[in-house]
Amino acid sequence: MSRRVLFILFLLFSFGALLFWRPFVDDREQGTQQRPASLKPDFIARGLVTRLYQPDGKLAHRIDADAMKHYSPIGLTELERPVYIVYAKDGQATWRVSADIGTYYDDKTLILERNVNIVDMDDSSVLDNIVTSYLVVDMVAESMTTDHPVTITGKRFQARGEGMVADLYAEQVELKRHAETIYYQSN
């Protein structure tokens, strides 16, 4: 090969390497580009309660939070210390779910994070509560799912596992990967 062809190949390779390396972009500048700094909430509310009703007018879901920030352009609401309550067809509360933080999307998906505690409100149920660190509540499909570690506590047992699927209205809970169950003797 001639020197001219080698020189052109070297220039093309160098130019391509510069494009991938991008030494002229500051790391701090890159981080600010990824976070939309101009996005401000449409409203901020404290102690707001959101209620969702069934077609027949009965209460289906309720979301309370210490504080809420709503962003219309991206269709989400950030929640501080949210409490989500599910109501059965007869109007009785069946599940009470609380967490440190949450995000509610316009497609009726609620994501709860950090110290997620799910309490079964039915006194006759064998379940007492479920604890995890991350939970996705699909209000349309009426389900709760997670792939994170889960601890289920009942009247006389405790079960641990990875991941869970729960049907909100059938009141059924299934561990994806069971790790252990401890049964307690009744007094």
The CA dihedral of 102, 105, 109, 110, to the nearest 10 degrees, is 10
21 sits in which H/E element = helix 3-21
In three-state secondary structure terms, 28 is helix
CB atoms within 10 A of CB 70: 16
What's the confidence (pLDDT) of residue 39?
A: 77
Return the minimum-mean-pLDDT range out of 1-10, 47-56, 99-108. Answer: 1-10
Read off the tokens for 131. 């604890």
What's the confidence (pLDDT) of residue 173?
A: 83
Predicted confidence band at 16 (pLDDT cuts at 50, 70, 90)?
low
What's the confidence (pLDDT) of residue 24?
A: 53
Instruction: For residues 147 and 154, give the distance between their C-alpha atoms in angstroms, rounded to a whole number.
Output: 21
Q: Percent of the chain scored above 70 by pLDDT?
A: 86
Q: What is the 3-state secondary structure (H, E, C) of 65-95?
A: CCEEEEECCCCEEEEECCEEEEECCCCCEEE
Instruction: For residues 72 and 134, give the distance between their C-alpha atoms in angstroms, rounded to a whole number.
Output: 24
Predicted confidence band at 133 (pLDDT cuts at 50, 70, 90)?
very high
Sequence letter at residue 92: Q
Task: Give mean pLDDT, residues 5-15.
Answer: 72
What's the confidence (pLDDT) of residue 83?
A: 93
Instruction: For residues 133 and 116, give the distance between their C-alpha atoms in angstroms, rounded to a whole number.
Output: 5
pTM for this predicted structure = 0.71
What's the confidence (pLDDT) of residue 99?
A: 94
Instruction: For residues 98 and 83, give the distance between their C-alpha atoms in angstroms, rounded to a whole number.
Output: 4
In sign, the C-alpha dihedral spanning 79, 84, 89, 91 is: negative
> Does position 8 have pLDDT exceeding 60, yes or no?
yes
In three-state secondary structure terms, 186 is coil
What's the confidence (pLDDT) of residue 134?
A: 92
Whether 62 contacts 85, CB under 8 Å: yes
CA-closest candidate to residue 145, choices 116, 114, 131, 166: 166
Reported as a single tens digit per residue, the pLDDT across 75-90 is 888 899 999 988 877 7
**CATH match of 36-183 with 2.160.10.10:** no
Reported as a single tens digit per residue, the pLDDT across 134-174 is 999 888 888 888 999 999 888 888 889 899 898 877 777 88
Predicted confidence band at 31 (pLDDT cuts at 50, 70, 90)?
very low
Reported as a single tens digit per residue, the pLDDT across 165-175 is 988 777 778 88
